Structure 1
Amino acid sequence: MTPVIRPLQPSDSLDDLTQLLHAAYASLAAQGWNFTAVDQPVEVTRQRLAGAQAFVAEQHGRLVGTVAVRGPKPVGEAYIGDPSPALYTTPGTAILSQLAVHPDCRGHGLAERLIDAAEAWARAQGFTQIALDTAEPAAALRARYARRGYVEVGTVQWAGKTYRSVLMCKPLGGPTNHTNARS
């Protein structure tokens, strides 16, 4: 059965969502990258979803994927405890975060479908570009986003992270243009 992608509902368990994030990001932690989602508590999941539209992939009643998207942060608002980079406060910019696919469900294009949902939502809301950040040494992740039209536009060093992050951005005019990369 193909997972169904839908908006996160108030009845969905943030405990289950947080456990999904931990499982999905464990392979990144094993490479020495302490992404926030590696071990964030449920309260941080709740904070990161505040003001965002989250989408989940559900299969047989189980959450197997997720992504969040939101509009720009107000100038001066922190992003996971750090000052927001200028890109994240630029009017017309949507921010993509917490993309995760359970390891058992990788390799079937689920991450692409989740990003498609986030980008479609951002377009429908009138955003003109979408931005994200990922670990600079995470070449496979950077390549995935580049295939979808995201361009590296800067770097940021988040407090307490073992890596520098690359800021990436993509214009949202017109239909999605990407190759059929697999999650």
Structure 2
Amino acid sequence: MSDADALQSQIVIRPFQPQTDSIEDLTRLLNQSYQTLADMGFQFVASYQDAARTRKRMQNGHCLVGLLEGELIATIMYYPPALAKGTQWYEQSHVAKFGQFAVNPLHRKRGFGDLLIRRVEELAVQDGAAELALDTAEGAHHLIRYYSARGYRFVDYVQWNETNYRSVLLSKSLSDPSAVLMP
């Protein structure tokens, strides 16, 4: 069994199930995971949002959760091309996006985040998207390096009303199916 297979056998990635999953637990995961960025001075909405805001942000996309031995340890929001909004790049008919991507700090650097990103890349391909995009703080150099190493490139800048930083918009071409399988 390869390391990737072993890792995949440890985590269950599935859609958020409102009837059984806790929106409060999901919100705590987001707040806790984005605290590192808040400590760096970045006002990401996920660092302070409440459960009502989490629920509202989930209405416009598909929330996936990562469970390890039944414990919620990771999440990512996927927005297919028809639901990707907010910038000219996102609103193109061939662009999907993801956001609210979080891994519990105790479980980082184990590849769980990579699995979530690969899953949304696969969903985007299934939805006919040619590009998958995201945005992050311009000064979050570690995140920009992380995404760049996975094939995401700079596209534009955006300034959101709710943040205290300028964001970089990154996107990855999905037209080459092998690109989705990049580590």
TM-score bucket (shorter structure): 0.7 to 0.9
Partner Cα distance (1:128, 1:47) in 2: 27
User: In the aligned structure 1, how far is the partner of 2:140 from the partner of 2:53?
Assistant: 23
Contact 1:73 1:88 in 2 (8 A): no
Is the 1:71–1:92 Cα contact (8 Å) retained in structure 2? no
- Cα deviation, 1:68-119, whole Å, max 9, x if unaligned, reads 1112467xx9x6xxxx210111101111101100011111011100101111
The equivalent of 1:8 in structure 2 is 16
1:178 deviates by 2.7
Aligned match of 1:24: 33
The alignment status of 1:170 with 2:178, answered yes or no, reads no
1:125 aligns with 2:127: yes
**Percent same amino acid at aligned positions?**
37
> 1:134 — aligned with what?
136
**TM-score using structure 1 length:** 0.88
For residues 171 and 102 of structure 2, what CA distance do their matches in structure 1 show? 19
Q: CA offsets per residue over residues 1-20 of structure 1, 9 Å max, x none? A: 82221222222111110000
Aligned partner of 1:63 in structure 2 is 72
1-structure distance, mates of 2:32, 2:50: 13
Query: What is the letter of the counterpart of residue 20 of structure 1?
Result: L
Give the Cα–Cα distance (whole angstroms) in 1 for the partners of residues 80 and 123 of structure 2.
11
Counterpart residue number, 2:160: 158
Q: CA deviation at 1:46?
A: 1.2
Match of 2:60 in 1: 51
CA contact (8 A) 1:66 1:100 kept: yes
Distance 2:162 2:16 in 1: 29
1:135, 1:104 → 2: CA distance? 22
Greater percentage in helix:
2
Contact kept in structure 1, 2:10 and 2:69, CA below 8 Å: no
Give the equivalent residue in structure 2 for 1:101. Answer: 103
Deviation by residue 1:6-53 (Cα, 9 ceiling, x = unmatched): 222222111110000011111110000010100111111112111312
Q: Give the superposition deviation at 1:126.
A: 1.3
Aligned equivalents of 1:116, 1:9: Cα separation in 2: 21
Q: Report the TM-score, using the length of structure 2 for normalisation.
A: 0.88
Equivalenced residue count is 172
Asked if 1:86 is matched to 2:95, the reply is no
Unaligned runs of 5+ in 1: none
